[in-house]
């Protein structure tokens, strides 16, 4: 006999008990709804970016509006409310605050605090910005490049002369639409999608963006690369003296190497593993005496634990497109893999991966490898351009429009680079713009008071307060550096 299991039967409640529960639930809901606060739309001092005033003050100190007005020559109709230079200034603000989609720019129309700081009465519709870009030509692109160049020159004049390394790379920009110049090229994420390629050049270490090109997606890295390098050289401030250039294997152009040798520059390029490099690797494996571990190369120099797995061979090679032999350092990295046989015997097998670097430096293999690896920081800067300034968003049909807007974002990028290095605390000077917005700029506040008593009211936050005090102190010091000397004292 199996005992019958009875289904769970809910407890029967009397009508009075159910009524008590219903009344209690009604009181709970009524009490909850009483917590709803009234909403009014009459605050004419609030802003989404309580600390934007520091960006605006910094722009005024460096004469940003004067730079734009001096270099930008766009004829506007007589009935236009906004000048072209003002619109470029507003577009730069949008890029700084992260309003990189045109529709999102309308948020500043309903930001009275921002307008108080800017000392304006209204902000343009996003369609006004579209119309501005639509009416611009290739000559106006040259003018935007000149604005960026002048911005970097003013920064360099305050810093003085220094040797710089130039890092160059490109990145794929996937397109979703019908953009002019879009072609199917190598796309590691969206295979077969039309794309652009953005080629950029940065100053190593400090991160200034010197040049930016927008090309069809199928463009080879070495196409017009020498012209690009010469343009970078022309766009550099006189105080920046090129010591060398670094680039990945897609840019190992012999014409650029020859030009660098003529100019007295150093260069470090990774070589693609094509026939000549493969033959060199095969020869080295047949003659293992040429391999030396990095520890053997660098006796007495501290090296990381992972460097023990590396060996290097320093040889001269010549490729078919070269006019002479050049120094090539081939690196071999050892990796161990486990192999299990039929009788479950596990063996450790050593395999190797290789990379080749062509250079005219005299650095030993370990410092050379570390110098090349510093180039990898350009990937972070490209990611910041994509994520922080939306350079990968190219929503306009005309390719020129997309390139124009990309250069405006590049100008905003260099503004933040200068702002961080000049005014921000040391622990935030290497932060990307997303962090600067989240921690400092885009903090809601109220612009209250009037005249000399006008100030910004923010929520209590000790960490932000310390950052703001540092910015205020350094802003005063920066203003003193820019102040012309007293003529009587000079005389």
What is the structure's pLDDT at 10? 66
Distance in angstroms (rounded) separating the CA atoms of residues 435 and 432: 6
18 domain-assigned: no
Please name the residues in contact with 16: beta carbons below 8 A apart, sequence gap of 6 or more: none
pLDDT confidence tier of residue 458, bands split at 50, 70 and 90: very high
**Domain that includes residue 462, residue range:** 46-136+413-482
Domains: count for the chain: 1
* Contact between 196 and 216 (Cβ < 8 Å): yes
How many CB atoms sit inside 10 A of residue 56's CB? 18
Residue-wise pLDDT for 361-407, tens only, equals: 998 898 898 888 888 888 899 999 999 999 888 888 889 999 999 99
Distance in angstroms (rounded) separating the CA atoms of residues 241 and 366: 25
What is the structure's pLDDT at 348? 56
Residue 331, strand partner residues = 312, 355
Residue 316, strand partner residues = 327
Nearest to 249 by CA among 326, 357, 165, 173: 357
pLDDT confidence tier of residue 303, bands split at 50, 70 and 90: very low
What is the structure's pLDDT at 359? 94
Mean pLDDT of the chain: 88
Distance in angstroms (rounded) separating the CA atoms of residues 175 and 355: 32
Distance in angstroms (rounded) separating the CA atoms of residues 141 and 408: 10
* Residue % of the chain over a pLDDT of 70: 91
128 domain-assigned: yes
Mean pLDDT value across residues 188-216: 89
252 domain-assigned: no
Helices and strands per DSSP (H, E), number in the chain: 17, 13
What is the structure's pLDDT at 162? 94
pLDDT confidence tier of residue 8, bands split at 50, 70 and 90: low
Mean pLDDT value across residues 452-461: 89
Please say if the pLDDT value at position 305 is more than 50. Answer: no
What is the structure's pLDDT at 153? 96
Six-digit token string for 417: 């680079």
Nearest to 261 by CA among 167, 359, 182, 183: 359
Distance in angstroms (rounded) separating the CA atoms of residues 227 and 250: 16
Mean pLDDT value across residues 129-149: 94
pLDDT confidence tier of residue 307, bands split at 50, 70 and 90: low
Place of tokens 């909850």: 32
Please name the residues in contact with 327: beta carbons below 8 A apart, sequence gap of 6 or more: 314, 315, 316, 358, 359, 360
Nearest to 151 by CA among 405, 382, 407, 385: 407
102 domain-assigned: yes
Residue-wise pLDDT for 338-355, tens only, equals: 555 555 555 555 788 889
Which helix (H) or strand (E) covers residue 228, if one does?
Answer: helix 225-235
DSSP helix/strand/coil, 176? coil
Distance in angstroms (rounded) separating the CA atoms of residues 290 and 365: 13
Please say if the pLDDT value at position 433 is more than 90. Answer: yes
Mean pLDDT value across residues 69-96: 91
Mean pLDDT value across residues 322-350: 73
265 domain-assigned: no
* Residue % of the chain over a pLDDT of 90: 58
What is the structure's pLDDT at 405? 94
What is the structure's pLDDT at 300? 47
* Contact between 185 and 218 (Cβ < 8 Å): yes
163 domain-assigned: no
DSSP helix/strand/coil, 108? helix
Annotate 426-449 with b (16+ C-beta within 10 A) or e (fewer): eebeebbbeebbebbbbbebbbee
110 domain-assigned: yes
DSSP string of 378-435, one letter each residue: HHHHHHHHHHHH-TT----SSHHHHHHHHHHHHHHHHHHHHHHHHHS-GGGTT--HHH
Mean pLDDT value across residues 258-271: 94
100 domain-assigned: yes
Place of tokens 């897609």: 250
Please say if the pLDDT value at position 2 is more than 90. Answer: no
Six-digit token string for 374: 């510093």
What is the structure's pLDDT at 23? 94
Please say if the pLDDT value at position 212 is more than 50. Answer: yes
Please say if the pLDDT value at position 453 is more than 90. Answer: no
Please say if the pLDDT value at position 310 is more than 90. Answer: no
């Amino acid at each position: 006999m199996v005992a019958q299991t009875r289904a769970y039967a809910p407890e029967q409640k009397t009508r009075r008990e159910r009524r008590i529960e219903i009344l209690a639930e009604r009181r709970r809901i009524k009490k909850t709804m009483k917590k709803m606060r009234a909403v009014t739309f009459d605050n004419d001092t609030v802003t989404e970016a309580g600390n934007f005033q520091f960006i605006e003050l910094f722009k005024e100190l460096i004469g940003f509006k004067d730079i734009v007005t001096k270099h930008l020559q766009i004829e506007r109709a007589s009935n236009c409310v906004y000048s072209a230079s003002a619109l470029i200034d507003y577009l730069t603000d949008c890029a700084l605050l992260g309003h990189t989609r045109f529709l999102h720019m309308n948020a500043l129309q309903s930001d009275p605090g921002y307008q108080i700081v800017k000392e304006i009465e209204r902000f343009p519709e996003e369609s006004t910005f579209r119309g501005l870009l639509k009416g611009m030509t290739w000559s106006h692109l040259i003018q935007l490049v000149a604005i960026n160049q002048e911005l970097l020159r003013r920064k360099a004049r305050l810093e003085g002369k220094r040797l710089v390394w130039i890092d160059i790379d490109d990145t794929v920009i996937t397109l979703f639409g019908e953009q002019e110049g879009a072609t199917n090229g190598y796309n590691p994420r969206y295979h077969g999608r039309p794309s652009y390629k953005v080629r950029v050049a940065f100053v190593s270490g400090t991160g200034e963006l010197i040049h930016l090109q927008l090309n069809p997606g199928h463009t080879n890295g070495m196409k017009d690369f020498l012209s690009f390098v010469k343009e970078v050289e022309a766009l550099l401030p006189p105080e920046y003296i090129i010591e060398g250039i670094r680039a990945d294997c897609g840019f190992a152009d012999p014409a650029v190497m020859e030009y660098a040798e003529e100019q007295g520059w150093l260069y470090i390029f990774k070589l693609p593993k094509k026939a000549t490099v493969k033959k060199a690797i095969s020869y080295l494996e047949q003659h293992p005496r040429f391999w030396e571990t990095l520890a053997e190369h660098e006796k007495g120099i501290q090296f990381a634990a992972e460097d023990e797995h590396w060996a290097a061979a320093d040889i001269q090679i010549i490729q078919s497109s070269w006019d002479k032999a050049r120094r090539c350092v081939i690196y071999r990295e050892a990796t161990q893999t486990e192999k299990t046989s039929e009788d479950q015997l596990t063996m450790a097998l050593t395999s190797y991966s290789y990379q080749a670097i062509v250079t005219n430096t005299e650095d030993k293999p370990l410092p050379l490898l570390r110098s090349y690896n510093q180039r990898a920081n350009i990937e972070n800067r490209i990611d910041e351009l994509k994520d922080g300034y939306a350079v990968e968003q190219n929503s306009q049909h005309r390719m020129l429009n997309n390139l124009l807007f990309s250069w405006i974002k590049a100008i905003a990028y260099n503004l933040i680079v200068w702002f961080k290095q000049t005014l921000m605390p040391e622990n935030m000077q290497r932060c990307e713009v997303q962090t600067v917005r989240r921690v400092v700029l885009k903090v809601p506040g109220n612009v209250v008071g009037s005249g000399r008593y006008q100030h910004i009211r923010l929520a209590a936050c000790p960490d932000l307060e310390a950052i703001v005090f540092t910015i205020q102190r350094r802003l005063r010091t920066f203003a003193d550096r820019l102040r012309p000397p007293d003529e009587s004292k000079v005389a």
